[in-house]
Amino acid sequence: MDKILLTGLLACLAAVSCSRTESMDDLTERVFTRASEQFALLDANLDEAGFSEDNALCPRYADHEGNLVTSNIWWWCSGFYPGSLWLVYEYTGSEDMKALAQKHTEVLDSIRFRTNDHDVGFQLNCSYGNGYRLTGNQEYKAVLCDGAHSLATRFNPVVGCLRSWDPAPDHIAAWKFPVIIDNMMNLALLLKAAELCGDDSLRTVAESHAMTTMKNHFREDGSSFHLVDYDPVSGDVLVQQTVQGFADWSSWARGQAWGLYGFTMMYSYTGGQQYLDHAVKIAEYLIPRLPEDGIPYWDFDSDKIPDDLRDASAGAIMASALVTLSGYVPEASSDKYLSVAERILRTLASDEYLAEPGEECGFLLKHSVGNKPGGVEVDVPLTYSDYYFLEALLHYRDAR
């Protein structure tokens, strides 16, 4: 009898627990409501800091003392806040959010002619790209086309890649032609502009970069190096190393996420089976190494360090990529990828990671790691965490 009563009690408790589980629709509504509040606060804080058309401040992070740290438009993350505003507008239909998105997008106009950095894709595709997708604004389209052609000037046909970084005083090595895994993300601008502007040469550049990266950035197990340096004359690989990861041999979490997302995106645009196969290989490497709650350590090989840090940004990027990838694979894999993405999203939407109203200067997610070896942006909110979190939620909504 006692055993029967215990079994009944456990079943009852399980039923109550299940009834209290927040649906993903309700979770998404809660997060986007919070994002609306937080991003309006962030806009007000930028205005207070002196934002204007002539002084286009962009949010970078909130420091540990609660101060808003800003950047100018040339910082590689300048497109993520306007991109997030466009995603909130997409979900809510709020004209106030649309106005803020336009305000913070259009100050980035001059980036369209930038040729000295590879992050034009991040900067313009997230901002103007989403703006064009949602409004059809023809000027936004022109910015995307100009930006893609500017980015393509960094392509070296001997190497087969776009150069990531130019020489600068803060670079730690005298690279000849450095290419970082992050650069996979900038290919989306080239592929989108190839369609919008009718220029197949942009697609050719993107595909060459992706194939060369697949060949030289990745190890046999599906993990990747952060940086590969090439000889710009011969195209030979000179060094494979990390800059922001734990070690040259390790798997820097956000870099792994960029690779997963980047090759999934390449398949989305081109239908090339080699890209899909590689994205699956990366996913199958990453998933077994995730902690129980789905949020990776800042480097997959740093998990033995006591009290080491998780990286919400890597988790958000992976979640968005896995949801998209789930639409291209057989049902068993699709279910697995969606399940892992949901686990990550539920954790990010928890009190541990989601900022309370008025916290973090208006950012949405806490606990991201920018560059731990460099001691920069460590355990702080970051704009790209917010962007890919919201994007992942929208993708998840549309995938079901």
Q: What is the pLDDT of residues 30-82, one digit of tens each?
A: 999 999 999 999 999 999 999 998 999 999 999 999 999 999 999 999 999 99
Contact predicate 388/319, CB 8 Å: yes
- Examine the pLDDT at 374 and tell me if it is beyond 80: yes
Q: Where are the beta strands (DSSP E) in the chain?
A: 58-62, 68-71, 155-156, 161-162, 178-180, 227-230, 237-241, 368-371, 376-380
With CA atoms as reference, report the closest residue to 166 among 174, 158, 109.
174
Confidence of residue 168 (pLDDT cuts 50, 70, 90): confident
Indicate which CATH number applies to the domain containing 352.
1.50.10.10
pLDDT attached to residue 8: 43
**2 within some domain:** no
Cβ of 96: how many Cβ atoms within 10 Å? Answer: 14
Q: What DSSP state is assigned to residue 109?
A: G
Confidence of residue 302 (pLDDT cuts 50, 70, 90): confident
**40 within some domain:** yes
Confidence of residue 167 (pLDDT cuts 50, 70, 90): confident
Angle at Cα 107 formed by Cα 136 and Cα 62, nearest 5°? 115
pLDDT attached to residue 172: 59
In the chain, the number of structural domains is 1
Q: What is the mean pLDDT of residues 136-145?
A: 98
Confidence of residue 16 (pLDDT cuts 50, 70, 90): very low
pLDDT attached to residue 199: 97
- d(Cα 165, Cα 104) in Å, to the nearest integer? 25
- Examine the pLDDT at 135 and tell me if it is beyond 90: yes
- The token pair that represents 221 in the structure block: 């197990």
Active site amino acids = 119, 182
Residues 6+ apart with CB under 8 A from 18: none
Cβ of 103: how many Cβ atoms within 10 Å? Answer: 17
Least confident of 2-16, 17-31, 50-64, 198-212: 2-16
**307 within some domain:** yes
- Examine the pLDDT at 293 and tell me if it is beyond 80: yes
**276 within some domain:** yes
**5 within some domain:** no
Q: What is the pLDDT of residues 85-112, one digit of tens each?
A: 999 999 999 999 999 999 999 999 999 9
pLDDT attached to residue 218: 98
What DSSP element (H or E) covers 63? none
Contact predicate 123/76, CB 8 Å: yes
Confidence of residue 365 (pLDDT cuts 50, 70, 90): very high
Confidence of residue 400 (pLDDT cuts 50, 70, 90): confident
Q: Is 105 helix (H, G, I), strand (E, B) or coil?
A: helix
Instruction: Express as a percent the part of the chain with pLDDT over 70.
Output: 93
User: Beta strands 237-241 and 227-230: pairing type?
Assistant: antiparallel
- Examine the pLDDT at 266 and tell me if it is beyond 80: yes
Q: What is the pLDDT of residues 212-261, one digit of tens each?
A: 999 999 999 999 999 999 999 999 999 999 999 999 999 999 999 999 99
- For residue 213, the number of C-alpha atoms closer than 13 Å in the C-beta half-sphere is 37
290 forms bridges with which residues in the sheet? none
**183 within some domain:** yes
Average pLDDT, the chain: 94
How far CA 100 is from CA of 60, 86, 124, in Å, comes to 17, 9, 16
- d(Cα 112, Cα 109) in Å, to the nearest integer? 6
pLDDT attached to residue 171: 62
**311 within some domain:** yes
**301 within some domain:** yes
- Examine the pLDDT at 2 and tell me if it is beyond 60: no
For residue 198, the enclosing domain spans 22-399
- Examine the pLDDT at 3 and tell me if it is beyond 50: no
